[in-house]
Amino acid sequence: MAPRAFWKGYLKLSLVTCRVAMTPATSEREKVRFHTLNRDTGNRIVSRYVDESSGKPVSEADEGRGYQTGDDSYVLVEDEELDDIALETTRTIDIESFVPRNTIGWVYLDKPHYLVPDDAVGAEAFSVIRSAMEDTGTAALSRLVMYRRERGVMLEPRGSGLILWTLRYGDEVREFDGAPEAREAPDKAALGLVKKLISERTQAFEPEMVHDPVQEGLMDLIASKRKKRPAKKVTKPAPEAPTGGNVVSIMDALRRSLSAEKGKRK
């Protein structure tokens, strides 16, 4: 079943506006989730918020958000006040600028979402914007209130639609200058062997490769318990014994790797 749109609004470029709908591009629905139970009764345990000083439970209506300004002082912020901030970006993706797609580093990309036209009237305008971006190799930048915060977003063509990425804030991205010990130019012979090894192992990406064996093990465990049978034990493969001494020649290791790759393909 296709996921329902969790956000609907408008895509705007200058004077061109069209209705759009957005759905998350990823899902964690299939993950195994556990509830906390009372071992004696089998009933679920319910979490409750209590007052730090009095220890008494606090009703949901009395719960509020506070920003800490000192050891014991807070500024209370109401939901309505949060909703009043950046109202212009709550329902409109107003494209501010375009940039070459390859100039935005992957580290800034946060969460992906699918963006598609929401009615037949705006489909043509949406298609023109998407096609123009694809032909020019550009991505669009805008701002949008999502998850109760105004975020920078990037739109890029994907198939007949657009991918909308929320962007990480600048103060969330750390600088990385590489490993200090790896800054020297690599040995040319070793570099050539690594390139051959890469060539031997290059293949098309298969989504099945990123499956979760722990998830599969949990499902097997749960299924066995439901049938009141002993749970299966997961047998971990024994670690391979190291070959040679403690000092290993990288050239020898690379040559062995290439030989092993060729042997697999015969």
- DSSP labels, 197-264: HHHHH-----GGGG--HHHHHHHHHHHHHHTT-PPPPPPPPPPPPPPS-SS--HHHHHHHHHHHHHHH
* pLDDT score recorded for residue 35: 85
pLDDT band at 83 (very low <50, low <70, confident <90, very high): low
Q: How many CB atoms lie within 10 A of CB 153?
A: 22
> What's the predicted TM-score (pTM) here?
0.62
For range 78-86, the mean pLDDT: 67
- The average confidence (pLDDT) of the chain is 80
Contact 65, 81 (CB under 8 A): no
Query: What pLDDT is recorded for position 91?
Result: 85
Tens digit of each residue's pLDDT (9 = 90 or more) over 114-143: 999 998 888 989 999 999 999 999 999 999
pLDDT score, position 148: 67
Lowest-confidence pick of 96-105, 129-138, 174-183: 174-183
Please say if the pLDDT value at position 261 is more than 90. no
∠ Cα 139 141 142 (to 5°): 150
The whole-angstrom distance between residue 122's C-alpha and the CA centroid of its chain comes to: 29
Q: If we measure between CA atoms, which residue out of 65, 60, 69, 93 comes closest to residue 80?
A: 65
pLDDT of residue 195 exceeding 90, the answer is no
Task: Point out which residues pair with 75 in neighbouring strands.
Answer: 67
Bigger pLDDT: 264 or 10? 10
CB 115 within 8 A of CB 20: yes
DSSP annotation of 57 reads B
67: three-class secondary structure by DSSP: strand
User: pLDDT confidence of 200, banded at 50, 70, 90?
Assistant: confident
DSSP assigned state of 60? G
